[in-house]
Amino acid sequence: MASIRIGDREIGDGHPCFVIAEAGSNHDGKLDQAKELIDAASDAGADAVKFQTFEAERLYNEFTNKDTVELLSGIELHREWHEELMNHAKHRKIVFLTSVFDEESADFVDGLGAPAFKIASAELNHIPLIRYVATKMKPMLLSTGMANESEIRDAVDAAHATGNASVALLHCISQYPTEVDELNLRAMLTLKTEFGCPVGFSDHTTIAGAATAAVAMGANIIEKHLTTSRKLAGPDHSYATEPDEFGKMVLGIREVERMLGDGSLEPSGRDVVTRLQRRAIYAAEDIPKGALLERGLLMIVRPAPEGAIPPKRFETIIGRATKRALRKGDLLTEEVVDL
């Protein structure tokens, strides 16, 4: 499977999950609150913090959706904030990302040195935008909420057609919040199989368990909304995760990664020691030197010290002669049996 690189992080199978704190519009139009979100994301152990770069009048038809445009205008991430927030994120050693919703926004953040681009679920059918952003030749994270396989393929093909192969797909349910029985996490596995790229989960639930379950299933990226307080009045606060909860989620993700291991069918370090508690072959009676071994003279019991003859060779030593006398309870080894 292909991998992508954002900053100094390789993202894909065999690499740690890339955790994105979705700050989104939870800055509520306040620069200090945006910085607090960066701080909270960094303190919680996220790899990246993501905002949204848009102009409300470019998103909705202001003639038919005037109220929506007015609402969104109040939570735009002002252009003059971007560089300051990117520097603040750099100071806090966390990657700054942003979703772009139009070509001009893509040009703007690209000019500031954005390491990657996020395309929101609602923009997945905006093929001209995807194609344009892909020409920047930077990694692209595409959320797949509301889309069917054909629409996802159209978006991926549009990016690949520019020569940009650095695409990751985030399984997403565009319901806020998402109920547990709506998640369909197995869709991530389908995305990974069908598209051969890193996949992840954009989590809109109000619980931490969905993200850790996704990582256990192979998610390479987790994105989850972050707020400084669910009591705030903005549109995305109520279902977002507060800093202490986000931190516990990240710890849970890292624990799951440690649990998964490398998949090898070999005993772990401590299990090697525990193997001593397996069974081995011992003398069940006193046995003189040169005696031919019979079943009744032997027993298979614990423990199994180094050099013990394993039980699977029991039949091969029947009828063999002893090289020296054995007392009841002595361990059988190749040094005492003529094999």
- DSSP code at position 83: H
Summarize the confidence of residues 83-89 as an average pLDDT: 98
Q: What is the pLDDT of residue 208?
A: 86
Tell me the three state secondary structure of residue 311: helix
What percentage of the chain exceeds 70 in pLDDT?
A: 100
Tell me the three state secondary structure of residue 196: coil
Q: Is the pLDDT of residue 182 over 90?
A: yes
Q: What is the pLDDT of residue 300?
A: 98
Tell me the three state secondary structure of residue 68: helix
- Compute and round to an integer the Cα radius of gyration of the chain: 30
Is 139 or 54 the better-scoring residue by pLDDT? 139
Residue 258, phi then psi, degrees to nearest 5:
-65, -35
Q: What is the pLDDT of residue 123?
A: 96
User: Where do the domains of the chain lie?
Assistant: 4-260, 267-339
Residue-wise pLDDT for 209-245, tens only, equals: 999 999 999 999 999 999 999 999 888 899 999 999 9
Q: Measure the CA–CA gap between 220 and 314, rounded to whole angstroms.
A: 48
Q: What is the pLDDT of residue 275?
A: 78
* Residue linked to tokens 């011992």: 282
Residue-wise pLDDT for 236-280, tens only, equals: 899 999 999 999 999 999 999 999 988 889 887 787 777 789 999
Q: Measure the CA–CA gap between 179 and 177, rounded to whole angstroms.
A: 7
Arithmetic mean of pLDDT over the chain: 95
Summarize the confidence of residues 304-319 as an average pLDDT: 96
Q: What is the pLDDT of residue 194?
A: 97
Residue 331, phi then psi, degrees to nearest 5:
-80, 140
Categorize the per-residue pLDDT at 64 as very low, low, confident or very high, splitting at 50, 70 and 90: confident
Angle, helices 127-134 vs 149-160, to 10°: value is 30
- CATH class of domain segment(s) 4-260: alpha beta
Q: What is the pLDDT of residue 269?
A: 76
Q: What is the pLDDT of residue 317?
A: 97
Q: What is the pLDDT of residue 287?
A: 98
Q: What is the pLDDT of residue 136?
A: 98
Domains 4-260 and 267-339 share a fold: no
Tell me the three state secondary structure of residue 70: helix
Q: Measure the CA–CA gap between 57 and 29, rounded to whole angstroms.
A: 16
**100: closest CA among 87, 90, 92, 110?**
110
Residue-wise pLDDT for 108-167, tens only, equals: 999 999 999 999 999 999 999 999 999 999 999 999 999 999 999 999 999 999 999 999
Residue range 267-339, CATH number? 3.90.1210.10
Q: Measure the CA–CA gap between 138 and 64, rounded to whole angstroms.
A: 35
Q: Measure the CA–CA gap between 88 and 32, rounded to whole angstroms.
A: 11
Least confident of 65-74, 141-150, 222-231, 322-331: 65-74
Categorize the per-residue pLDDT at 73 as very low, low, confident or very high, splitting at 50, 70 and 90: confident
Categorize the per-residue pLDDT at 68 as very low, low, confident or very high, splitting at 50, 70 and 90: confident
Planar angle of CA 175, 125, 151, nearest 5 degrees: 85
* The pair of three-digit structure tokens given for residue 23, joined into one six-digit string: 């700050």
Q: Measure the CA–CA gap between 302 and 285, rounded to whole angstroms.
A: 16
In the chain, the N- to C-terminal Cα span, in Å, equals 49
Residue type at position 207 = I
Q: What is the pLDDT of residue 279?
A: 96
Task: Spell out a b/e string for 138-148, using b for 16 or more CB atoms within 10 Å of the CB, else e.
Answer: bbbbbbbbebe
The four Cα atoms 117, 121, 127, 133 give a dihedral, to 10 degrees, of: -10
CB burial class (10 A; 0-12, 13-18, 19+) of residue 266? exposed
